């Protein structure tokens, strides 16, 4: 099987992100979602990972589902620094290898409420990547996160790019979501000028719900909401009546305009020559299916 970076140098890779369901009912429904995503022949599907491996069992279950499917989709596990010692990292990653999972996204991870650091042996993803390479050599293909608007805890975009340049041993960059295309273009030029040559796989969140977009932008990511997206939100701001009841027609209108916004964003990313498109499926298949079909990217008829 080819490495993902080899695929990215040949053509634009397509991938999805899912998360381990918290309930048995959710786990029972996930295979159907994955089956629909497989129809697009994704190059990989990534699965998120809880702080300190709090959901490592279900993460492993999801990765194995993907690995054992009758296609060539690669499972990629997220892996954070939160709460990890060198010993737990070595033990857990060996377990992934023993189960046939050899692709990972190395992350610092979001700090849990009240934490001021990772409470482990690794403060940054850079440290984690270096340790994984030292212990496992090239057994893992490793992605690292990129922040086109700068990490929210970094003092400047330039400082953030300098940290990204230190991620020696990583194979490609998977970006955090960004809706500001001008900022993305600036960042892409800036990392290339800085000598960072790793392929760039762009994380894209479908615009299908007003509250979800606002929460994702402002809760942890500090992402800008550009004028064009602000207009989409403003057009459908009042999605509840005075008694607090949902107005389905307004929510549907937001989804329609939001999907068109996302399709335009995908086309713009493709025109920039990015090496990958990574869609946050959010354990649903309907929205990303409609987006990809409209965009004409690996269309499923």
Which residues, including other chains, have CB under 8 Å from residue 217's CB and lie 6 or more apart? Answer: 179, 223, 224, 225
Q: With cut-offs at 50, 70 and 90, classify the pLDDT of residue 51.
A: low
Per-residue model confidence (pLDDT) at position 154: 82
Tell me: pLDDT of 300 over 70: no
Phi/psi of residue 10, nearest 5 degrees: -90, -40
Per-residue model confidence (pLDDT) at position 77: 96
- For residue 290, indicate whether it is catalytic: no
Tell me: pLDDT of 53 over 60: no
Per-residue model confidence (pLDDT) at position 168: 73
Instruction: Please tell me whether the overall predicted TM-score, pTM, comes out greater than 0.85 for this model.
Output: yes
Tell me: pLDDT of 57 over 90: no
- C-alpha count within 13 angstroms, C-beta hemisphere, residue 24: 0
Identify the sign of the CA torsion 138, 141, 142, 146.
Answer: positive
Please provide the average confidence, as pLDDT, over all residues in the chain. Answer: 92
pLDDT tens sequence across 131-181: 999 999 999 999 999 999 988 888 899 999 998 988 778 999 999 999 999
Q: What percent of the chain has pLDDT over 70?
A: 96
Q: CA 100 to CA 94: how far, in whole Å?
A: 10
pLDDT tens sequence across 147-160: 999 888 888 999 99
Q: With cut-offs at 50, 70 and 90, classify the pLDDT of residue 2.
A: confident
Q: With cut-offs at 50, 70 and 90, classify the pLDDT of residue 7.
A: very high
Per-residue pLDDT, averaged over 66-90, amounts to 93
- Let me know the angle formed at the C-alpha of 209 by 207 and 210, rounded to the nearest 5 degrees: 100
Per-residue model confidence (pLDDT) at position 52: 53
Nearest-10 crossing angle of helices 248-271, 227-235: 160
pLDDT tens sequence across 87-122: 999 999 999 999 999 999 999 887 777 887 788 899
Which residues, including other chains, have CB under 8 Å from residue 248's CB and lie 6 or more apart? Answer: none
Active-site option among 6, 10, 17, 290: 17
Per-residue pLDDT, averaged over 210-221, amounts to 86
Per-residue model confidence (pLDDT) at position 50: 66
Tell me: pLDDT of 301 over 70: no
């Amino acid at each position: 099987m080819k490495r993902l970076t080899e695929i990215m140098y040949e053509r634009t890779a397509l991938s999805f992100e899912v998360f381990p369901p918290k309930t048995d009912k959710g786990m029972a429904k996930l295979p159907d979602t994955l089956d629909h995503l497989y129809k697009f022949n994704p190059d990989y599907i990534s699965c998120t990972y809880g702080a300190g491996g709090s959901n490592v069992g279900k993460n492993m279950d999801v990765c194995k589902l993907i690995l054992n499917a009758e296609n060539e989709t690669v499972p990629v596990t997220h892996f954070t620094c939160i709460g990890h010692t060198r010993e737990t990292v070595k033990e857990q990653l060996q377990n992934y290898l023993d189960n046939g999972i050899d692709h990972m996204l190395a992350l610092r991870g979001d700090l849990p409420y009240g934490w001021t650091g990772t409470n482990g042996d690794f403060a940054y993803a850079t440290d984690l990547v270096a340790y994984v390479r030292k212990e496992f050599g090239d057994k893992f293909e490793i992605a690292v996160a990129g922040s086109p608007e700068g990490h929210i805890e970094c003092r400047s975009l330039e400082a953030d790019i300098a940290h990204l340049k230190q991620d020696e041993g990583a194979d490609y960059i998977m970006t955090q979501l960004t809706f500001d295309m001008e900022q993305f273009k600036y960042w892409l030029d800036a990392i290339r000028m800085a000598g960072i040559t790793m392929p760039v796989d762009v994380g894209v969140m479908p615009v299908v719900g007003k509250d979800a977009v606002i929460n994702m932008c402002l809760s942890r990511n500090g992402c800008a909401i550009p004028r064009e997206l602000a207009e989409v939100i403003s057009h459908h701001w009042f999605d509840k009546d005075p008694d607090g009841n949902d107005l389905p027609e307004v929510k549907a209108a937001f989804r329609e305009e939001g999907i068109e916004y996302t399709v335009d964003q995908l086309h713009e990313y493709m025109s920039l020559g990015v090496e990958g498109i990574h869609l946050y499926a959010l354990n649903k298949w309907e929205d990303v299916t409609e987006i990809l079909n409209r965009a004409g990217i690996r269309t499923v008829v």
